Structure formats: structure tokens, C-alpha cells
Amino acid sequence: MLTQHRYYGKSVPFGSREEAMKNASTLGYFNSAQAIADYAGVLLHIKKKYSAERSPSIVVGGSYGGMLAAWFRLKYPHIALGALASSAPILYFHDTAPQVGYYTIVTKDFKETSESCYETVRKSWDEIRKVASRPNGLSMLSKTFRTCKPLKETSELKDFLDSLYTDVAQYDDPPTYPLRIDVLGKIFKGVVAYKGNRSCYDMDEYIRPTETNVGWRWQTCSEMVMPIGHGHKDTMFPPAPFDLNRFTKDCEGTFGVKPKPHWVTTYYGGRDLKLILHRFGSNIIFSNGLRDPYSTGGVLGNISDSVVAISTVNGSHCLDILPESKSDPQWLVMQRKSEIKIIEEWIAKYENDLLEFKEETHA
């Protein structure tokens, strides 16, 4: 049985993706609360169908899915015995994480890999501006970066490079560690090193209206408001602080809705997380790789004996839940073993509780 988050994959309501994505009215059921409610219904159905009502379930997810896994355990403890939330930035919402955190980690990753690389990227933005200001400057940039279409403005190139650098840092996985590939020369060599030697490079690659891009854009506009930005001189990127007013205008123009920056922390919690979950949460593993920019919004310290954090210095985004490989470093192997051991302990305790419960009911 394949279960999907509604509106993603083949689970599209209203007959077609075009109809489902038409407006805020048809997108109204496209939210995290409805998604985990769907999973709850499916799990209950499966358990009933196979007479496994008391069989323990562990939910696992990464990134947004990791947030869903943690929230599922908190909202449906009678259905899921525990959760493994990998790279889940559940604290990256209103007033719970620094806005510059994401880009600070990206910058740190580059700087630690190569000071020269970091300086090259940092200086490139002004160089792009200078070249663009010359006669035929945009044409020169288009030729230098082998763009598939002529650049109309520098923001196209800057946005592409911004997305490329964050993608490299976020998914800087062993054994190749793409961030270590030669990006020490010209910026374009870095593009070729990461993307491969193509006949041309699509500046719209990261913003094309794919199912995921449009779907996640809706979710960030309607409920998952993550105030990610960066100021002046706090990263290797040009200043781009998060502006809620501008973000709101964009969302209203695209979907006709106003963002709800307080919704996640109101519905799921977030503030004083350690204080709250210390007594009222259990059986959640928050795993993070500290080279992952989203780790700044993750839970990096143990909250209680059973709400625990596992972090790896060299880990990246969702690395621990990817399929294992012979080339996996030992620290990654040990991380996965630690997670499995914790889950096995949850199940063992549950089975003991179940046995005691049966004895009491028959006493």
C-alpha cells in the first residue's frame, strides 16, 4: 500500500492538478494537520485489516516529513509508538530560531571547506553587479555562465547561484562531499563542477512551477512560514533579510491568502519546547547533521530520557534515513545503529507494558 501526502504525487483531489491548484478554495485541505490526519486514518485501517491493533508503529520522516513525524507522535500517541524526525526544523518558525541561521551554516560550510572558496563567493556578487553595469554586461554574463536564455537582469543569475550554493551545502553528502569539488576558481567552474558540463544552464531550474515547488510555496504561504533571511555582512551572501510585509504581498498576489506566521507554534507548539516536552512528550528522536543549514531550526539537545537528539558534526540533510552504502563513513553507521537501538528499546518497553496490561485485565 502506498500512502501519499495529499496534493503531492498521485493523490490529487478535484480531478486534476490544475483544478486542485487553482485557488485558495481548492487548496484549503492542503496542510500539515490534514496530512497527518490522513496518515492516522490509514494506519488505523491497516492495523484493523491485519488484526494488528496493538502492534507498535514507528513513524519516520525527513525535513518537512521529519516535522510531520514529530508532530504525528505528539498528536496521535495512540497510533504511533514513536518517531524518528530527521533534519526536522520544527523550531524555524516565529521567534523560535534566528532568521540568519540557515545562511550562516551555508557560509560556515563553505568557509570551513576552503577560505579561498568562501572569499570567491563573497566577492562574486559585487563583481556580477560591476560586469552587468557595463555596455552589453548582461550579455557578457550570459556568455560567461552559459545561460540557456539571455539574462534579463542580474537577479536571475544571483538567485540561481544562491539556490545552487544552498543546495550544495544542504546535501553535502559523503563520500563525494560536493562542496569539496573545485569551486576555488571562477564561480562558473563551481557551477560546472556541481551541475556537470552542460551545453547551457537553466537559470529557472530552481524556480520552475513543479508540483513540489508550487505545493511547498502554498504551504509556506498558508501555514509553514519560515522567516529565513540574511542581513549585511553576516553571511557570504548579499543582504536579503526576511520581510514579512513583502512576503505577505507575494502570497496574496500568488494565492490570495495572508500568511499565518503564528500558526505552527500555536497548533503544534515550539516556544519553550524543552520545558513542555520534558514532561508531556516521549519517544521522539531528533536527528541532525550539523552541516545541514536547517539544523539551526532543529532540536540539538536531549529534552528527556525518551525525547532525544542525535547530531553528527559532518552530517547533512536527512543523511541518516537515506539507503545505506558500503562507502558510508563509520560515524554515519554508528548514528543509524544508535537510532535503531533506541527504537528497539521503545518497542521492548511497549511489549512489557502490553504484557502487564493483559495480566491485569485477566486478574
**Choice among 230, 317, 320, 328 that is catalytic:** 317
272 burial via Cβ count (<10 Å: 0-12, 13-18, 19+): exposed
Check: CB of residue 240 under 8 Å from CB of residue 229. yes
* Residue 238, all three cell numbers: 548579499
**Choice among 162, 172, 173, 292 that is catalytic:** 292
3-state class (DSSP) for residue 277? helix
In this structure, the number of other CB atoms found within 10 A of the CB of residue 253 comes to 8
For CA atoms 204, 206, 212, 215, the dihedral sign is negative
Distance CA 323, CA 336 (A): 11
Check: CB of residue 169 under 8 Å from CB of residue 221. no
Question: Would you say how long the chain is, in residues?
Answer: 363
**C-alpha neighbours within 13 Å on the C-beta side of residue 271:** 8
Is 230 one of the annotated active-site residues of the chain?
no
The residues, ordered by sequence, that sit 6+ positions from 193 with a Cβ below 8 Å of its Cβ are 178, 181, 182, 183
**Phi, psi for 83 (deg, rounded to 5):** -145, 140
Check: CB of residue 33 under 8 Å from CB of residue 39. no
**Choice among 32, 57, 63, 87 that is catalytic:** 63
Is 63 one of the annotated active-site residues of the chain?
yes
For CA atoms 218, 221, 226, 227, the dihedral sign is positive
Distance CA 294, CA 98 (A): 11
- Residue 207 to residues 54, 110, 187, 246, 256: CA-CA distances in angstroms? 45, 23, 20, 18, 20
Distance CA 227, CA 292 (A): 17
Check: CB of residue 238 under 8 Å from CB of residue 158. yes
Annotated active-site positions, please? 63, 292, 317
